[in-house]
Amino acid sequence: MTQPDTDAPIDLEAVEAERARIREAHLRPAGERPASSARGLHHTALISSDVERTVRFYQDLLEFPLTELIDNRDYPGSSHFFFDIGHGNLLAFFDFPGLDVGPYAEVLGGLHHCAISVDPAHWDRLVGKLEAAGVEHVVHSGVSVYFRDPDGARIELIADPLGEMYGERVL
């Protein structure tokens, strides 16, 4: 990720002070947190400009099986399709034929990246497949690989278990 294009330097001490204030006001120790009202992430829906290309990328390259391909009830001629990303969670897509949605853009309220946990052995194999397929990617901390899908969405495969981030519990 690049830094914002601005002439004003970011006051990192002020940023960290604000994080500390928010943590103090809102972050409860693990044993004091109430149970979540959610059961899990049913699906996250992204946009695809080409259904078959997206299927080849996610199913053939990343090994996330396609589980369903149906009509999108909200937009005639559009498809809604789903990939299994483990533990009952799905990564979904819509295509919008005839609607110029433009190129992918990171905007406020939009997607920054989607992080998907994979077993370390799968992670190593998938990084090798990204390399072999010529997909630009960046490895961080030996457990995260970032890359963009065919439509530009940023994806992270992380070898840390669910509920952990770089060896630290976040759940």
Digit-by-digit pLDDT tens for the chain (171 residues) are: 455 556 789 999 999 999 999 999 999 988 898 988 887 788 899 999 999 999 999 999 999 999 999 999 888 899 999 999 999 999 999 998 888 787 777 777 778 899 999 999 999 999 999 999 999 999 999 999 999 999 999 999 999 988 888 888 888
How far is residue 82's CA from residue 144's CA, in Å, rounded to a whole number? 23
- Say whether pTM exceeds 0.95: no
Does 51 fall in a domain? yes
Please enumerate in sequence order all residues whose Cβ is within 8 A of that of 86, keeping only pairs 6 or more positions apart, or say none.
116, 117, 118
- In the chain, the number of structural domains is 1
Does 25 fall in a domain? no
Does 20 fall in a domain? no
Does 11 fall in a domain? no
Tell me what pLDDT residue 164 has: 86
Q: What is the DSSP letter of 30?
A: G
- Helical H runs in the chain? 12-26, 51-55, 120-132
3-class state of residue 127 by DSSP: helix
Does 6 fall in a domain? no
Tell me what pLDDT residue 3 has: 53
Tell me what pLDDT residue 124 has: 96
Does 10 fall in a domain? no
Does 139 fall in a domain? yes
β 43-48/164-165 pair status: unpaired
Tell me what pLDDT residue 6 has: 64
Does 3 fall in a domain? no
Q: Quick one: which H or E segment has residue 44? A: strand 43-48
Domain limits at 75?
43-96+111-169
**CATH number, position 54:** 3.10.180.10
